[in-house]
Amino acid sequence: MREQPLDLMGKNLQLVKIRELLSKQPRNRLLLEMMLQTTAPVQSLLALKASDLKDLKQGALLPIKSETEDTPYIFSATIKKYFDLFYEKHTPGNPDFIFRSNKGRKALSKTSVSRLVRKWIKDSGINCAGLRGLRALTQAQAKEMSAEQPGKTDASQKGYTPPKINTMTRQEAVFQELEKAIITGNLRPGQKLSTEGIARSMGVSRIPVREAMARLAERGFITTQPKKGSVVNELSRDNLKEILDLRLMLECEAVAKAALNITDSTIAELVKTNAAFTRARRQNRADELLDANRKFHLLAYRDSNAPILIDIINHLWDKVSPYYNIMFRQSVTTHPRHGVNFHDHLIKALRCRNAEEATSWLKTDLIHSAEFVLELFDLHQAGQSKSKDPLNRFI
């Protein structure tokens, strides 16, 4: 029986399989996302060094020359996420190539990348014929989907009409708009999302909408089920408390292990990150506060030499991300009361390699933070019941 070509429709399950395969390979996952989200030649990606991305802010232009001036390459949230994970795991020096060969300090070759892609496809168990590389997949997808006619807007989406967007990276622009709509309440928990309707309203094909919705699902903002479509996730106090309780248990274990092995370079990074956290807290900049807080905690656990434990902790942070993003951005009080002081004490304990003291201060920090977040959740729920206008919450 003849093999069927790779199905590029539906929920992009083939890409999901590859992403799952690479979930514990941050360098390869970073390479995959950069190949998917840019049209840059592979050789340009392979030429990138750690210093090129280390200090870039989310949304900045990637230091890669675009083939067309109106489609610059963006340092998207997804690319930043996997670069940060890669950097935390490998800590490359500034002159090091990001996509470095295992046999020396040279960059990977195009031939090596082709072999990698073929291996990802094979190991993911994808049944396809004549697929020679990931570029072929994305190009074929773009060609097929560009001929589609966008459908009508879903009635369940009535009341929210996304604006038409200019080219940025289309996927990144769609993602940012949908994320903003969920956070501000224009898309409410339980509301169904129509891929066709969103694509039509924004003036784009379904490809960037599907990719953006996959990222929203990955971050816990929406749930997508076969034949049922996508729905904005409901917020649950019980789920939030369970996540926070699990974090308390697992992160205390991680920091105790890390305290015995922590390096001076990690401590220096903790001090720098805590300074960024302090600035964001003082200026009530929720996005920067959340990013710096997560980075600080994961740095504190980095030297635990417990990769499975860290992976589970990362997953729990992803689970709690929608709660933090929604509540912290809507609240006029965007920071826990004592977070900075707790961080200072934790750094001091780690510098002394005192596992018991480090665990004690981390536990105090997490308990106070959990109480604060649950307090915000209760305010959030009260605000929803009192006002139909999401912009009036917390005012």
pLDDT band at 266 (very low <50, low <70, confident <90, very high): very high
pLDDT at 257 over 90: yes
Could you tell me which residue, 94 or 389, shows the higher pLDDT? 94
Query: Domains plus CATH for the chain?
Result: 13-146 (1.10.443.10), 155-232 (1.10.10.10), 237-392 (1.20.120.530)
Both tokens assigned to 320: 């709690």
pLDDT computed for residue 159 by the predictor: 60
- pLDDT number for residue 9: 34
Write down the pLDDT at residue 250: 96
Q: What digits encode the pLDDT tens for the residues 354-375?
A: 999 999 999 999 988 888 888 8
Give CA 76 to chain center in angstroms: 9
310, burial (CB in 10 Å: exposed 0-12, middle 13-18, buried 19+): buried
Q: What is the mean pLDDT of residues 173-192?
A: 80
Residue 330 pLDDT: 56
**Average pLDDT of the segment spanning 224-247:** 85
Q: What is the pLDDT of residue 246?
A: 94
Whether residue 173 contacts residue 139, with contact meaning beta carbons closer than 8 Å, is answered with no
Q: What is residue 282's predicted lDDT score, i.e. its pLDDT?
A: 83
Look at residue 132 and tell me whether its pLDDT is greater than 60.
Answer: no
> How high does pLDDT run on average in the chain?
76
| Residue predicted with more confidence, 351 or 53 | 351
Provide the token pair at 250. 């697992």
